[in-house]
Structure 1
């Protein structure tokens, strides 16, 4: 939004010095203020100065907003829409798109006026009009009916769709809009947006290409959509939903033994598309609900010994016993791999823990016992055996986990320098039998990242 903040101004200025092969930069803003002419509006002027490939402005299509948000007459709103579009068309000499904000709510309230706002945008020279479900509450049949009315009222109009996901129908509404004849979809990668989000373009693109036969991306590029999705989540420092359609890490995950057995014979039995078509991969989960087919499928390439049913059955029984006791192997591939190695006689630990101790000094005069700079750091000592050598190390840390981590690293790093590239990225603790209160068992889940070459 040029003019809204210095960062956006710098962005559009930087774009003027670059050429993009596959991107068209769009500057976004609103219709001009009610108390001035288009050419005197500061923000319309900033849109012109942005020199973007496309300019997109929004205006009001809902009489409720015209009366209560803008507090102007219906006629003045129509003048602002037409005047703003016409000014930008003349000043930029480039395409101008008009976002009809709250169009579907406006159509339900006053169909005639909502359509009149589109007509004003067209009269001003809008190259495309995007119909917006800004509150995200429209239903698919309402989307279809309103689009049909718009196309019937203005046969030459080129329409786009912009929906939010407040009702959980963003994907359904967008696909219905495409079926009804729109030629553009506005959305975001992973559906990131205010409130409940916008429509997820990764889902829309995959559906349109694989289910509807549209070509949305250059040939072969659909296979990169999972990588794109995860890169965006990573940039935002978020973990995307496991079950995000097409691109989630569990989008093609199979757990039930019956499912896995069938997928091994023919993936179409439980997969609506191939995971490779969107750059994802199949995942076999292991739990007490699994069958021997899960174990064999998960480790067929790594452990040929599992081709025989006896090994798989023994491993499955061990998993079921451990999960009954509180373990969970569903998202713990490392623990599962160690369990299998033990069964196959491949388990050879690099070190053996002998004991560890934690010391927490009490500073009763400290104002905040949780502040280690006041109350004192936690101290941990760890003794391990590596081969025939016993090593004892101690370290301080910000809490017992950090102290143990530092002490264990000291004990191991001389023999295993690669541990310096191994980092604890996350850990969670879950109470298993809460009725036992402080004597309850807990399940600890650790995640590490390795930054070595």
Structure 2
């Protein structure tokens, strides 16, 4: 089988946009389409022209702005209305006006939907399918037909379901896609329906599964095992209710587990990057634990696992992460022990040995800190600072500046405004320095005060920006400790730090300091500047 004969069809831009919380502009859709094309899908369903104005605009702009390398663009729509000629149906005309090489029609295959939703007869439903497909084929379009509710409809009325498949194929449809629209079927049922339909009709079949029973990917693979060669899905499994089959997972399974070259190996190696790009553009993050592409997909924490991974990564990983563009990560925690510390250190570029005194000290400190509420899983920068301290003999390495003291003051202002002012006292090369900052809260004020103090001496800090701030209360009551996780970036990279204290502001200060110290790792002496009193106000 060749990659050309197997059809990988993405419907993120139509079915995927029904995901709760997803709103895409036309620009967003064009950008997502480019990433899907770069990944290597064969078809990209752009939307429903004529029914959704934004989709009509998408297809208009796509004609001049979208240059696809591997994919063909498909417009989605319905068969003609009951009692209306296909050529006279405005919605069918909109499909032609989209000027796509491919059109995908949704057709009813469940008798109750024909009678209750379309309010027509089963015979007219078949005529609607045949008439619409014939018109589109006559106009030079490749046509796929999505047989909506097919798996459920087949179980209710096998005869009509098969008639729908035959009507579409006889009129010229290239493939008829069997849909588990309600997503309630299990793999054995899907396999049985596909096998029976293929045997009764001999028509090229596709599969479109929803995930309401958690089986969309498994159902898709079962359909492929039964002979289907056209599979539909969405990036990250986006879609209404519980979503669709995750096309990233499906593609990787078909290539790596079934040996079907649905995307070239080189494209598969870019899959994780494509997945991250699509999630960023849609504003709907994929699951951290998503197979193959999630940041946690090849992440290890337990000490036994980490120890085994030192011997052979394949002992606890089903594939080489590089095959899908991902990478192995190690989480450092009191559960991980020396092996996890060694693996994490090597991941960060430090050559250490699990049996060394340095690793033993680092593991002991981590265990103690986590017992007091720290968590290094999202704080690689804090871990690296700790490791550097131990590599320097267990004492704190020379810091480019020293903190003498800090304080925060909140003043109640007019109309309920409460500006926050922070003051930091530092020492740089033995020379005292006082700086102030004002912000919308203590963290913002402290951040600005640090910038006011340090930017003149360390210009590289001017691009440092706090991008995420999270607080978790450890325990109950007003005296509970707080764990603060902060993410910083400088335009080239991002890093996370952690701080814990009974006082939330103090915990934030610890995390802020770690972030700045990390940014200055391996920094040469501060730039020449006259220490003075500085202020920063927002």
Tell me whether the two structures share a fold, i.e. TM-score over 0.5. Answer: yes
1:186: which partner in 2? 232
| Distance verdict in 2 for CA 1:86–1:60, change over 3 Å | same
Contact in 2 for aligned 1:360/1:379 (Cα 8 Å): yes
Matched, 1:377 2:419: yes
2:455: which partner in 1? 413
What is the TM-score when the length of structure 2 is the normalising length? 0.79
Secondary structure of the 2:291 match is coil
Q: What are the Cα deviations for residues 325-356 of structure 1, in whole angstroms up to 9, with x where unaligned? A: 11111221111111111222273323222222
Between the two proteins, the alignment pairs up a number of residues equal to: 441
Aligned residue among 315, 320, 330 for 2:362: 315
Secondary structure of the 2:259 match is coil
- Which stretch shifts more, 108-117 or 140-149? 108-117
Measure the CA separation in 1 of the matches of 2:362 and 2:71: 52
Contact in 2 for aligned 1:418/1:452 (Cα 8 Å): no
Q: Which runs of 5+ in 2 are unaligned?
A: 1-47, 494-538
2:430: which partner in 1? 388
- Which stretch shifts more, 55-64 or 300-309? 300-309
- Which stretch shifts more, 251-260 or 399-408? 399-408
| Distance verdict in 2 for CA 1:356–1:19, change over 3 Å | closer
Secondary structure of the 1:56 match is strand
User: Could you tell me how far 1:238 is from its partner in structure 2?
Assistant: 4.0
Contact in 2 for aligned 1:338/1:347 (Cα 8 Å): no
Secondary structure of the 2:446 match is helix
User: Could you tell me how far 1:360 is from its partner in structure 2?
Assistant: 1.9
| Distance verdict in 2 for CA 1:239–1:351, change over 3 Å | farther
- Which stretch shifts more, 233-242 or 186-195? 233-242
1:324: which partner in 2? 371
Matched, 1:38 2:86: yes
Query: Which aligned pairs between 1:33-432 and structure 2 lie closer than 5 A?
Result: 33-90=81-138, 92-155=139-202, 157-300=203-346, 302-306=349-353, 308-345=355-392, 347-363=397-413, 366=415, 369=416, 375-432=417-474
- Which stretch shifts more, 303-312 or 138-147? 303-312
Q: What are the Cα deviations for residues 419-441 of structure 1, in whole angstroms up to 9, with x where unaligned? A: 2222111111111122xx11110
| Distance verdict in 2 for CA 1:219–1:328, change over 3 Å | closer
Measure the CA separation in 1 of the matches of 2:257 and 2:403: 55
- Which stretch shifts more, 212-221 or 42-51? 212-221
User: Could you tell me how far 1:253 is from its partner in structure 2?
Assistant: 1.0
Measure the CA separation in 1 of the matches of 2:481 and 2:172: 69
Contact in 2 for aligned 1:300/1:307 (Cα 8 Å): no
Secondary structure of the 1:393 match is strand
2:76: which partner in 1? 28
Secondary structure of the 1:26 match is strand
Aligned residue among 476, 479, 483 for 1:443: 483
Secondary structure of the 2:399 match is coil
Contact in 1 for aligned 2:126/2:167 (Cα 8 Å): yes
1:372: which partner in 2? none
The answer to which structure, 1 or 2, has the higher relative contact order (CA under 8 A, 6+ apart) is 2
2:504: which partner in 1? none
Secondary structure of the 1:356 match is strand
Contact in 1 for aligned 2:412/2:419 (Cα 8 Å): no
Contact in 2 for aligned 1:132/1:163 (Cα 8 Å): yes
User: Could you tell me how far 1:45 is from its partner in structure 2?
Assistant: 0.3
Secondary structure of the 2:469 match is strand
Contact in 2 for aligned 1:355/1:384 (Cα 8 Å): yes
- Which stretch shifts more, 250-259 or 351-360? 351-360
User: Could you tell me how far 1:87 is from its partner in structure 2?
Assistant: 1.5
Q: What are the Cα deviations for residues 176-234 of structure 1, in whole angstroms up to 9, with x where unaligned? A: 01001101111112212222221111111111111110101124221111111111112
Q: Which runs of 5+ in 1 are unaligned?
A: 370-374
1:8: which partner in 2? 55
Contact in 2 for aligned 1:163/1:174 (Cα 8 Å): yes
Q: What are the Cα deviations for residues 149-192 of structure 1, in whole angstroms up to 9, with x where unaligned? A: 2112201x111111111211111001001001101111112212
Contact in 1 for aligned 2:353/2:359 (Cα 8 Å): yes
Measure the CA separation in 1 of the matches of 2:412 and 2:354: 57
